[in-house]
């Protein structure tokens, strides 16, 4: 298992896009097991291959805090054909990240997400054309209003890409809303890096937006360009790869929310 998932660890174990790129390189390992399953343990729900525990790249046991997540991971293993393709196993990769890279460094991951509150995508608005300006406002303003009302975080907007400093109080209020649970935090980090917005990730976590609304808000400018100039197949392929990881992270958040509700 170590060699297999070292391929998708990436330079930063918290960078899902780098993990996908690295996972697509090199030879793939042949499927060596009959079936994947789930077994309950004192530390959660462990994933097994032919009854034997799966290990992360750091040799820790691959287990999830809720059965739904463990069953999703097992389903990814069962879906593999003749060879194992880690790119098609986003929840497994996220689980490895949680167990090997997040559990022991929660504060560092929180710091990494909190950096976005200083330069979140939602703060920087187009100056023209008017239709794009209106579309950004339609999809982004409700998130900022929600952050102000629900979190007490009042941010400053600007036109263009010139950096604008954000109030320390706003950054601190948004940071305080970040979870300490490693699984939620890792999924939130993935949503943040994939969308370019920690505020969109928080809105998803708190239920202020659903995953389709978050994905649409994250791609306002890109969708606008597609409408004007058509689809670039290479860009579309990269977007699909990001979307699969986004859906995996959103599914993790949903499963964890169901546990706590």
What residues contact residue 162 under an 8 Å CB cut-off, 6+ apart? none
Answer left, alpha or beta for residue 120, where phi above 0 means left and psi between -120 and 50 means alpha. Answer: beta
pTM, whole model, 2 decimals?
0.89
According to CATH, where is 1.10.3580.10 located in the chain?
A: 106-260
**Please, what's the b/e burial string for 211-237 (b: 16 or more CB within 10 A of its CB; e: otherwise)?**
bebbbebbbbeeebeeeeeeeeeeeee
Tokens standing for residue 254: 């949903």
- Superfamily name with CATH number, domain 106-260: ATP12 ATPase (1.10.3580.10)
7-33 average pLDDT score: 58
What residues contact residue 222 under an 8 Å CB cut-off, 6+ apart? 235, 239
Tokens standing for residue 51: 């009854």
223 band by pLDDT with thresholds 50, 70 and 90 = very high
25 band by pLDDT with thresholds 50, 70 and 90 = low
Q: pLDDT (tens digit, 9 = 90+) per residue, 64-88? A: 999 999 999 999 999 999 999 998 9
198-213 average pLDDT score: 97
According to CATH, where is 3.30.2180.10 located in the chain?
A: 2-102
Class of domain 2-102: alpha beta
Query: Whose CA is closest to 139, among 195, 189, 190?
Result: 195
In this prediction, what percent of the chain has a pLDDT beyond 90? 78
pLDDT score for 261: 54
Classified as helix, coil or strand, 105 is coil
Residue whose structure tokens are 């069953």:
71
């Amino acid at each position: 298992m170590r060699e297999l998932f070292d391929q998708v660890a990436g330079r930063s174990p918290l960078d899902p896009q780098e993990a996908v790129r690295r996972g697509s390189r090199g030879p793939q390992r042949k499927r060596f097991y009959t079936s994947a399953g789930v077994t309950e343990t004192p530390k959660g729900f462990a994933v097994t291959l032919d009854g034997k525990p799966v290990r992360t790249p750091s040799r820790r046991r691959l287990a999830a805090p809720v059965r739904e997540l463990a069953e999703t991971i097992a389903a990814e293993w069962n879906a593999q054909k003749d060879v194992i393709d880690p790119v098609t196993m986003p929840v497994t990769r996220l689980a490895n990240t949680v167990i090997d890279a997040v559990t022991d460094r929660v504060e560092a991951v929180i710091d990494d997400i909190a950096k976005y509150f200083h330069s979140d995508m939602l703060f920087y608005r187009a100056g023209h054309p008017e239709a794009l300006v209106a579309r950004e406002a339609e999809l982004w303003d409700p998130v900022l209003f929600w952050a102000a009302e629900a979190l007490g975080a009042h941010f400053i907007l600007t036109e263009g890409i010139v950096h604008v400093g954000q109030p320390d109080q706003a950054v601190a209020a948004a940071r305080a809303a970040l979870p300490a649970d490693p699984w939620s935090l890792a999924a939130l980090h993935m949503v943040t890096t994939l969308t370019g917005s920690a505020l969109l990730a928080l809105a998803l976590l708190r239920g202020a937006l659903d995953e389709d609304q978050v994905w649409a808000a994250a791609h306002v400018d890109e969708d606008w360009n597609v409408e004007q100039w058509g689809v670039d197949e290479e860009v579309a392929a990269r977007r699909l790869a990001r979307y699969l990881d986004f859906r995996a992270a959103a599914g993790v958040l949903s499963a964890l929310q169901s546990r706590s509700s």
